[in-house]
Structure 1
Amino acid sequence: MENLTQQIGPDPSLLLVDDDEVFVTRLARAMEKRGFRAETSTSVAQAKRQIERSAPAYAVIDLRLEDGNGLDVVEALRERRADARIIVLTGYGAIATAVAAVKMGATDYLAKPADANDVTLALLSSSEGLPPPPENPMSADRVRWEHIQRVYEQCDRNVSETARRLHMHRRTLQRILAKRGPR
């Protein structure tokens, strides 16, 4: 634990931005146990106010928030504190959003589910090489299921519209939605 505190540096301030209050609260507790001084935010507007008040040295920002895009928070933090280490965290990883996040100033990009260990490694990583592979990566079936769920939510839970956008038969989609997600 002491070694980790030395890696964090003199300013352990950390801003966690995610609209899932349960997740962000748990992550904040876990990061505080690792030596960070965590603050949480559940919206773009709230995060921008916190950054204006005091720009943190570290940040973990969800890409999609209820009131906007997490990249707006990345940009606001980068303007106030150029040396901040910023991790963009999202439920669905896509090359285009990863590139956009890095161009906006993010240090790294993590796909959910990411635990406190993954976040800590990403925040404190100093190497420019490839990160180690995840201990428990999502299965291909789980990635597929997550993608279907995301499109379903974006279509306001309309099965017919979701099936049309995913180019699949409506009944097939209904069977998939009726089942539990794979592990």
Structure 2
Amino acid sequence: MLLDTIVSALVDRSLLLLDDDGPLRNRLARALASRGFEVKTAAGVEEAMAITRTQPPAFAVLDLRLEDGSGLTLVEELHLARPDARVVMLTGYGNIASAVAAVKAGAIDYLSKPADADDVVKALLAQSDHLPDPPANPMSADRVRWEHIQRVFELCGHNVSETARRLNMHRRTLQRILAKRAPR
């Protein structure tokens, strides 16, 4: 059964890429197309739903949080239209609760942004009984922390005081972190 699903997925290389970050979506779409996928992109949930209803893809790479909703709703819709679809969730908000929700909804993997195209392809094509290889170049703990701070800062409208309150840190400490360059 699983082998049949993988074989049919290898024949049908249609892929839906849903992300509201335009540059990331375009870059990842080109990278996946160069790896043999037939990529259709969507910037919002409604646009992706329309694609799913007319031509359900064999693969999907979906952002978790979007301006007009959640990629989780699309996972359920996609599995109704095509039960053998393989879905990978991408998110800048990596936490255990959202990862569990994504897997319960039917996603096969959950990757944090920025995700490398090779990691996405490995996740899409991985067999369910085989654990994926660890990433070749994982982000350092300092870089993950910096990315999280930047994301919260952006969500708070670049308000340093509000960001410091939400991150439970002193405002001056946050200002020093924001003034520095991103760690490697």
TM-score scaled by structure 1? 0.91
Measure the CA separation in 1 of the matches of 2:96 and 2:53.
Answer: 30
Aligned to 1:133: 134
CA distance in 1, matches of 2:41, 2:107: 18
- Structure 2 counterpart of 1:144: 145
2:55 counterpart residue number: 54
Offset of 1:103 from its aligned partner?
A: 0.5
Of all paired residues, the percent bearing the same amino acid is 64
Instruction: Tell me if the contact between 1:44 and 1:73 (Cα under 8 Å) persists in the aligned partners.
Output: yes
- For structure 2, the 5+ residue unaligned runs are 1-6
- Provide the aligned C-alpha RMSD in A: 1.5
Query: Is the 1:12–1:58 contact (alpha carbons within 8 Å) kept by the matching residues of 2?
Result: yes
CA distance in 2 between partners of 1:163 and 1:117 (Å): 35
CA distance in 2 between counterparts of 1:109 and 1:135 reads: 17
Find the counterpart in structure 2 of residue 87 from structure 1: 88
2:78 alignment partner in structure 1: 77
How far off its partner does 1:157 sit?
A: 1.9
Count residues with an aligned counterpart: 178
1:153, distance to aligned residue in structure 2 (A): 2.1
Question: Per-residue displacement from partner, 1:22-74 (whole Å, max 9, x unpaired)?
Answer: 21112112212211111111111110111111110000001111211111111
Which TM-score applies when normalising by structure 2?
0.91
Moved over 3 A (4+): none
- TM alignment of 1:89-104, pairs within 5 A: 89-104=90-105
Match of 1:145, SS state, is helix
- Matched with 1:33 is 34
The Cα of 1:141 is off from its aligned counterpart by 0.5
**Residue 7 (structure 1) shift:** 8.6
Range that drifts further, 148-157 or 103-112: 148-157
